[in-house]
């Protein structure tokens, strides 16, 4: 989402849990840890990414895989080929 709309994400923990197929409590726990680490901040329905590099380092290789698949299906995120 950050690649498409920026670092201010209008998303609830319920919706995020539904998107990735996990329980809301799982999202809550991970979000709390990311916030404690200073990587994100969140309030009702809004997640702000404080450090994209930190989030990427603490996650799997999924971000790059999603970007490759998006590019294959729709082209570059910035509209350039």
What is the reported pTM?
Answer: 0.71
10 Å CB burial of residue 56 (0-12, 13-18, 19+) is: middle
Count Cα neighbours of 72 within 13 Å in the Cβ-side half-sphere: 6
Domains defined for the chain, CATH in brackets: 2-74 (1.10.10.10)
Interior angle at CA 62, CA 14 and CA 3, nearest 5: 75
Tokens 């409590």, located at residue: 25
pLDDT digits (tens, 9 = 90+) for 19-51: 889 999 999 999 999 999 999 999 989 999 999
Q: Is the dihedral of CA 29, 15, 56, 49 positive or negative?
A: negative
């Amino acid at each position: 989402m950050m690649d498409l709309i920026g670092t201010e994400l209008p998303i609830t923990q319920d919706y995020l849990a539904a998107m990735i197929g996990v329980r809301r409590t799982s999202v809550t726990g991970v979000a709390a840890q990311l916030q404690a680490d200073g990587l994100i901040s969140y309030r009702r329905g809004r997640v702000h990414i404080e450090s994209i590099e930190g989030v990427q380092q603490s996650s799997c290789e999924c971000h790059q895989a999603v970007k490759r698949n998006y590019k294959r299906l729709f082209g570059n995120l910035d509209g350039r080929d």
